[in-house]
Structure formats: C-alpha cells, structure tokens
C-alpha cells in the first residue's frame, strides 16, 4: 500500500505559521521546521498573508515536516480551505539546494 501523499509531504509556510508558537496552537503540538525558499513567487499582506507569481521573486519560509492527516485537517480549517486558500503542490529549494516537493496554501481570488 502506497502512503497517502496528502499526509506525507511537508508543508511550506510563509506567513503567520512561521511563528512556532502560533503554529503549535494551530496543530496542537510543535512541528519540526527547516528553512526553504520558493522561487518565482512574492509574499504580500493585506488582511492575510499571501503569495503570488512574479518572475525573479523569492519567498523565504519554513518547511514543516512529519505532518499527518489530523494536522492537515487542522491546517485546512485554519486556512479556511476552500474559501480563503487552496492547498497545492509546489517545489521549494532546501538549504542544501535540493528541490523538495511539498504542499503550500495559495490564496483564492480574494487577493
């Protein structure tokens, strides 16, 4: 049986979830996190943090590892999927330069 990709990929965070205390409040526990960069996207803030495509831009954030289905359910509620955000797969660059496939929350049409 193959692992469920919904619960085995890390999550790239770039906004309020970068704060480990706030992230722990959402998840109910502290999550392991390592720095990563998402290229070709810029970060912005209106009422909420968001990212959008822009050539030459880079967004620095964190990769949260070892998340499970319950964590993603909590995160989807927190991110108000599908009203405010949708979860999509992207590739980010890790500290060692390796490309890492992960989840990210992208804004819906409110931006």
Radius of gyration of the chain (CA): 13
| Domain segments of the chain as ranges | 5-107
Q: Give the CA angle between residues 83, 26, 106 to the nearest 5°.
A: 35
Span 5-107 CATH architecture: Roll (3.10)
Q: What is the pLDDT of residues 23-33, one digit of tens each?
A: 999 999 999 99
Judge if pTM exceeds 0.85.
yes
Residue 26, Cβ neighbours under 10 Å: how many? 16
pLDDT tens digit sequence for 26-79: 999 999 999 999 999 999 999 899 999 999 999 999 999 999 999 999 999 999
Nearest-angstrom CA–CA distance, 48 and 40: 20
């Amino acid at each position: 049986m193959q692992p469920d990709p919904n619960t085995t990929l890390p999550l790239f965070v770039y906004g309020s979830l970068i704060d480990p205390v706030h992230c722990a409040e959402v998840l109910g526990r502290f999550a392991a996190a390592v720095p990563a960069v998402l290229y070709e996207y810029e970060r912005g803030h209106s009422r909420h943090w968001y990212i959008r495509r822009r050539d030459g831009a880079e967004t620095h954030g964190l990769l949260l590892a070892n998340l499970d289905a319950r964590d993603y359910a909590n995160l989807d509620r927190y991110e108000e999927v599908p009203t405010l955000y949708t979860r999509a797969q992207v590739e980010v660059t890790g500290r060692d330069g390796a490309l890492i496939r992960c989840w990210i929350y992208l804004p819906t049409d409110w931006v």
